[in-house]
Amino acid sequence: MYMVITCFFHNMKLLVVVPVPLQSVEVQVDVKDHVATVVSTLLYQNKEEKPIEAVFVFPMPSEAAVCHFSAKVGQTLIVAEVKEKKQAREEYDDALSSGQQAFLLEESDQSPDIFSMSVGSLPPGESASIRLEYVTELDVQADEALRFCLPAVLNPRYQPTGTETGSVTVTSVPSSLVPYDLIFLARVQSARPISKVESNCTMDPLEFLSQDQTAASVKLAAGHKFERDVELLIYYKDTHEPSAVVEAGQASAKAGTLMGDPAVMLSLYPEFPKDIMSSVSSSGEFVFLLDRSGSMEGGQIASARDTLLLLLKSLPMGCFFNIYSFGSTFEQIFPESVEYKQETMEEALKKVEMMQADLGGTEILAPLERIYSQSCIPNQPRQLFVFTDGEVGNTKEVINLVKSNSGSHRCFSFGIGEGASTALINGLAKEGGGHAQFITGSDRMQPKVIQSLRFAMQPAVVDISVKWDLPKGVSATVLSPPLTSIFQGQRSLLYAQLTGQNKEAAEGCVTVKYSLAGRPTENKLNFSLKPTEDTGLTVHRLAARSLIRSLEQEQGDHRGQIDDAKKKEIIDLSVQSGVSSSFTAFIAVNKTSGEAIQGPLLRRDVPVPSNMMMVGCCMPMPRMVACSMPMRMMADRSMPMGMMADCDMPVLDALEIDCADVMLGAADCDDDDFYYDDEEKYALPESKAKRDPLLELVSLQKASGCWELEPALAKAVGKTTKDLEDKQPSAAKKEVWATILALVWLHGLKADAKDEWELLVMKAVTWLQSQNASGLAECVEAANSLLGCSVQKNALGI
């Protein structure tokens, strides 16, 4: 398979014919409750006349535990071993130099959500089938769905100035040019019936495999290109209840080791007292950090602006807030956080409306350092909201900075668009004691962000402890990091190794104790110690992954230094469990091969889809594939510096192309020379785009929670000013009538968006109650008559 890639440089167009040895990707996903086992089979074939080395750099869920890697060449199956990374690389190089085939799989040194697969040497006409397996937990969404994502899009990670270049480099093309196909099948099994399965891709109808609908399968429609992330949303009936899975140890492993002893996975869904949850905190310092790098251009920055509008309208009176935005540099609206009131809200909104994706790269570390340098406000708990498409090269450094400041705030993170780094987004929330959300495809950002705002307004859970009540002779060693945050209705996972035996008692109990709003609270989970059948080693691998990640994060400073003793502990655990780490790699060598290679081994980089957009200083530029041509145009910085300054893409030297495979054609650039990814167009900001009616109404609400009777309100609800004035009850004040009208419109016509407006409606109700106004029932009746609704007064909460 060959691929023609059009590369654009300043006033020059290059046509590059690139052989792509990866022919197809076949993925099978087995979901059991909230855990997925993913098996990917990649078929490689060398259709060239010389031996090649194929290198594929691809994204991986950061929470995944990679546990198997093998290759089949002809009838020979080679199963890879986990070894220390340096040793594995040396064995790979030695094998290639001696003419043997070798296969290497390793995690990026910079980020755990990027892997590199090297296949070499592949003789002319030879094929190789690569099998990669991992297990992963599924995230719980705002609507209680479980989210599985098979990442395909890997945007080049922006490398901040002055930082070391990572060990892997991304070779990317526009998603419409991905040259290999994807075959995808998912099988879902649960103790509870499956309600439905939704996807962002075209799927064949869901097929139930049992009468009680506890098992089902679904597959992608035929002919799907692996050009976008594949997302599944799985809905169970009566789901998300506390549960425990006990798994027997590996028979061949030594007792007393992690793999030899039984392991338990606890899924906890804490329930907070209703009287505490019925009240929303009116205090807090809310800091919003928005990515304005070039890759946020288009719909992403527009959605982020709308979301900030909704957030600002939903904040409670009396809190404090500030908004930072970043790219290559950063800006802040106020020198320090200010009290939330009408004047400060209006000033902030005016500046938010002007925000564009015009700040260049993705330097997130500097604004975080500035935020943390600001003193916390007494009795105003700091809540940090980070919005980014998550494409940075110093992921570990950023996460460690958040971790070192975790005692002073909670961090809520949002990955925007396909290709967002799961390592960065999940890491920020985990180390910041907050919650992570991903917004992809046609998702509305607002419901997910407001859910996180609700979490931020929950009282902070403190003094968390976990008590194990096990039979005599049985003990538990917790393998997960300590619980530092708990939210109402959100799952918390705990892994533990069970040591010892007791034949008489077969039950255990875990009690989670904590303090909530000054009140001691606890949740209990009783579970059977009898191992569950047919789990394989899924729980052990996830537990090993959890422990490995915890050890990797136990580092002295935010720059990620780790001592030799800790590194050895991680390597030993990775080798024992067969689960990858940042210090190990999978290595497989076909020792039956060994013919000497004549001439140099050609490297072929397999491209992945990218949603990156190059933005020049004076005109739009297309997304580009990273090419390392003989003239080294990118590496020599021959592109004008003004154009490089705004690029949210690092300078890459990835794709080494043999001269015989290159055709060059130069021509003056004009608009027709540019291509775009799919149907997305690069568009200059519209002066005044038509706003969603809901957001139009929201934009008119005052900081106190009320609306005013004005022409803009009449337009927002689809009426004239005269209509509103004629229907106003004579005894009602204008602001009271306007506020009731807005509430009836929201409840009657926008009930499906309740998750978005519920918090600001609570503000409005609080304002109405403070007015001690009479005639509210008449206002509700008049609003229903005007809008054609039938909303009851008690439904409004007044």
264, 495 Cβ separation under 8 angstroms: yes
Task: Could you please state the CATH topology (level 3) that the domain comprising 243-275+461-562+572-577 is classified under.
Answer: Immunoglobulin-like (2.60.40)
Instruction: Specify the amino acid at residue 561.
Output: Q
Record the tokens describing residue 456, joined without a space. Answer: 């931020």
**How far, in Å, are 83, 324, 335, 402, 556 from residue 371 at the CA level?**
41, 9, 10, 11, 21
Concatenated DSSP letters of 521-548 = EEEEEEEE-SPPSS-TTHHHHHHHHHHH
- What are the phi and psi torsion angles at 312 (to 5°)? -65, -35
**How far, in Å, are 244, 310, 455, 522, 793 from residue 271 at the CA level?**
17, 28, 13, 9, 30
Residue 503's pLDDT is: 64
* pLDDT tens profile 288-316: 999 999 888 888 898 899 999 999 999 99
CA dist., res. 59 & res. 576, Å (int): 25
* pLDDT surpassing 70 at residue 280: no
Instruction: Give which of 711, 716, 696, 775 is closest to 740, Cα–Cα.
Output: 775
Residue 719's pLDDT is: 95
* pLDDT surpassing 90 at residue 121: no
Instruction: Count other C-beta atoms under 10 Å from residue 689's C-beta.
Output: 8
Label residue 453 by pLDDT band (50, 70, 90).
Answer: very high
Record the tokens describing residue 569, joined without a space. Answer: 């502990």
Residue 157's pLDDT is: 62
Strand order in the sheet with 507-516: 461-469, 507-516, 519-528
98-102, 220-224, 358-362, 705-709: which has the minimum mean pLDDT?
Answer: 220-224
120-134, 274-288, 320-334, 476-490: which has the minimum mean pLDDT?
Answer: 274-288
**Structural domain spans, the chain:** 20-171+178-238+579-590, 243-275+461-562+572-577, 283-457, 693-796
Instruction: Specify the amino acid at residue 208.
Output: F
Residue 594's pLDDT is: 61
Instruction: Count other C-beta atoms under 10 Å from residue 236's C-beta.
Output: 21
* pLDDT tens profile 9-30: 444 444 445 567 889 899 999 9
Give 503's DSSP letter.
S
192, 158 Cβ separation under 8 angstroms: no
* pLDDT tens profile 706-755: 999 999 999 999 999 999 999 999 989 999 999 999 999 999 999 999 99
Residue 216's pLDDT is: 96
Alpha-carbon Rg for the chain, nearest whole angstrom, is 28
- What are the phi and psi torsion angles at 397 (to 5°)? -65, -40
What does the pLDDT average to over 789-797? 93
* pLDDT surpassing 90 at residue 547: yes
For 283-457, give the CATH class.
Answer: alpha beta
Record the tokens describing residue 68, joined without a space. Answer: 């198997």
* pLDDT surpassing 80 at residue 358: yes
Record the tokens describing residue 122, joined without a space. Answer: 């592949």
Q: Do domains 243-275+461-562+572-577 and 283-457 have the same CATH topology?
A: no
Concatenated DSSP letters of 27-52 = EEEEEETTEEEEEEEEEEE--SSS-E
Residue 18's pLDDT is: 57
* pLDDT tens profile 630-664: 322 222 222 332 333 333 333 333 333 333 333 33
* pLDDT surpassing 50 at residue 124: yes
SS3 state of residue 23:
strand
Give 220's DSSP letter.
B
CA dist., res. 524 & res. 340, Å (int): 40
- Calculate the CA dihedral of residues 39, 43, 44, 45 and round it to 10 degrees: 170
Residue 583's pLDDT is: 95
Instruction: Give which of 699, 741, 702, 701 is closest to 719, Cα–Cα.
Output: 741
Q: Return all residues near 611 (Cβ < 8 A) that are at least 6 apart.
A: 153, 155, 175, 295, 417, 418, 419, 623, 677
SS3 state of residue 343:
helix
Residue 321's pLDDT is: 98
Residue 334's pLDDT is: 97
For 20-171+178-238+579-590, give the CATH class.
Answer: mainly beta
C-alpha count within 13 angstroms, C-beta hemisphere, residue 375: 3
Label residue 609 by pLDDT band (50, 70, 90).
Answer: confident
Residues of the chain with pLDDT > 90, as a percent, come to 54
Residue 564's pLDDT is: 86
Label residue 160 by pLDDT band (50, 70, 90).
Answer: low
